[in-house]
Amino acid sequence: MSESATQLDQIKSGYGFEGLALQLGVAMDEDTPHPDAPVRLPLAMMNRHGLVAGATGTGKTKTLQLMAEQLSNQGVPVFIADIKGDISGLATPGESSEKLLDRTQGIGQQWTATAYPTEFLTLGGRGKGAPVRATMTSFGPTLLAKVLGLNDTQESSLGLIFHYADKRGLTLLDLKDLQAVIKHLVSDEGKADLKELGGLSSATAGVILRSLITFSDQGADVFFGEPEFDTADLMRVAPDGKGVITCLELPQVQDRPELFSTFLMWLLADLFQDLPEVGDAEKPKLVFFFDEAHLLFKDASKAFLASIEQTVKLIRSKGVGIFFVTQTPKDVPEAVLAQLGNRVQHALRAFTPDDQKALTRTVRTFPTSEYDLEELLTTLGTGEAVVTVLSERGAPTPVAWTRMLAPTSLMAPSSEATMDQLVSASPFNAKYGAAVDRESAYEMLNKRMEAAPEPAAADPEPPAPAAPPARRAEQEPGVVEQVVKSSAFKSMLRSAGTVIGREITRSLFGTARRRR
């Protein structure tokens, strides 16, 4: 038996799963596709995460589209961050052509133009789709520090500010709320509170405040506020049983990579908090595609990277699969890469010494095979990839040179008319379309200032006898007691009773949800 025949037999055996699976494509041998050797990915292993990598123009986006379609067909909801705006074609049936049919017939694919149930979201309403917003309290200090580019000291100080607001019942909904809290802390009225925080200096608070003002001036204020997006809405199934594909359209904020990549991490952290443990399941509850993944890890602190690693490790038990999409595996930290059991590697370029290093490192991430992977990865055609996944037993499958199936939806952006129609009819539009600005820290602090009594009328009762100097500090009310007795605090109780007694729980990323 020839070496190539043996290799094909190994692929047939290694990918012959009994349970539900996605068909990615068919095995190749010397430029010849073999429809009798399908390359598949077990649905039950999708929550073991994965990596889709390759140079620009090698077919990564079409692979995302293909996987999203097949997941939807299996009743699994999908979330995709659409950076360039070219995933929106999922909502429109594909267009046949002679070239397309030649390809699909050659790999034994029964191709039928199909549209998929698709929802469109945008960050803060920037673009076509229902706006996604997060409250400042929910977003938390760790993710906000990443967006603002704060150093470790400033990040710790920001955490103290959030802690102060949590303990004082000062609801942080939007940027102006956080700005108001910091302005209070650096004001004469807030000096005692600032001193009580200990680790926060007025200079560092001032730096953070200036960063927030700049951030707001750049238009970022629309990304924070209410109604806050409920990540449970990502896990919907259409009436026909297909999983709903949610596309977060990001072309309007391509120039803000730190913002959108961190927002995606907020979505994951929120899912992690809300979802129950499910253990091993027949199929995932949601598959999350994280496009342009290198932006998430760029300039990230050690603490931030550790939180990503922890989230990726733990969220699989909640039934959520994460697929990072980038150019080379070196874009992903090793601790995270080690948890990505499913790999679809498109072609790489080796034009420079750095490219060659990246190629060599990529080859080392694959199981041993009979392929010369360094040569193969530089000669793959568009729409071809080197694949290895986890079998139903959790073991790596044989490395397979694969010609990928063609998506059945439109391999181009959907028309503006189609998107407008879908967005206007979406329940998301009614739920999240209009911003809400209810009473929060900004209003509370302003009321406190307005309600502050004049010094002369501070106490209608006769003044108590002066205490001995040595005991004066003991008898002065603490900051908490002053706040509790203030009229502003009583007003806050009347207008926001849910604040008192609430528990703010913070996840690995410092994100928070109000317990009900």
- Per-residue model confidence as pLDDT tens digits over 17-62: 999 999 999 999 988 999 999 999 999 999 999 999 999 889 999 9
Number of domains the chain contains: 2
Could you tell me if 361 and 351 are in contact, meaning their C-beta atoms sit under 8 angstroms apart? no
Residue 210, number of CB atoms within 10 A of its CB: 11
In a domain, 419, yes or no: yes
Residues 153 and 204 in one domain: yes
Residues 259 and 324 in one domain: yes
457 pLDDT more than 70: no
245 pLDDT more than 50: yes
DSSP letters for 120-134: EEEETT-SSSEEE-B
Residues 154 and 212 in one domain: yes
pLDDT score of 2: 53
Q: Residue 90 gets which letter from DSSP?
A: G
Digit-coded pLDDT (tens) for 477-498: 444 444 434 444 333 333 333 3
Provide mean pLDDT across the span 311-315.
90
Digit-coded pLDDT (tens) for 196-240: 887 788 899 999 999 999 988 888 888 999 999 999 999 999 999
pLDDT score of 199: 75
Provide mean pLDDT across the span 91-99.
96
| C-alpha 88 chain-centroid distance | 18
Beta strands in 124-269 (DSSP E): 130-132, 245-249
Residues 220 and 230 in one domain: no
Residues 164 and 183 in one domain: yes
In a domain, 4, yes or no: no
- Averaged confidence pLDDT in the chain: 85
Q: Which of 513, 437, 436, 415 is nearest to 120 (CA)?
A: 415
Residues 279 and 170 in one domain: no
Residues 150 and 98 in one domain: no
Residue-range definition of the domain harbouring residue 104: 19-27+36-133+226-425
H or E element at residue 375: helix 373-379
Residues 381 and 446 in one domain: no
In a domain, 467, yes or no: no
* Residue whose entry in the numeric block shows the structure tokens 């399941």: 281
In a domain, 464, yes or no: no
Digit-coded pLDDT (tens) for 197-206: 877 888 999 9
Q: What CATH number corresponds to the domain at position 255?
A: 3.40.50.300
In a domain, 9, yes or no: no
| C-alpha 335 chain-centroid distance | 18
Query: What is the token pair recorded at 306?
Result: 């550790």
In a domain, 6, yes or no: no
Provide mean pLDDT across the span 386-410.
96
Residues 237 and 152 in one domain: no
Residues 394 and 262 in one domain: yes
Digit-coded pLDDT (tens) for 144-192: 998 898 988 899 999 999 999 999 999 999 999 999 999 999 898 888 8
In a domain, 250, yes or no: yes
Could you tell me if 324 and 51 are in contact, meaning their C-beta atoms sit under 8 angstroms apart? yes
pLDDT score of 3: 59
Query: What is the token pair recorded at 143?
Result: 């993710």
Query: What is the token pair recorded at 6?
Result: 């043996």
In a domain, 14, yes or no: no
Residue 207, number of CB atoms within 10 A of its CB: 16
Residues 160 and 57 in one domain: no
Residues 240 and 358 in one domain: yes
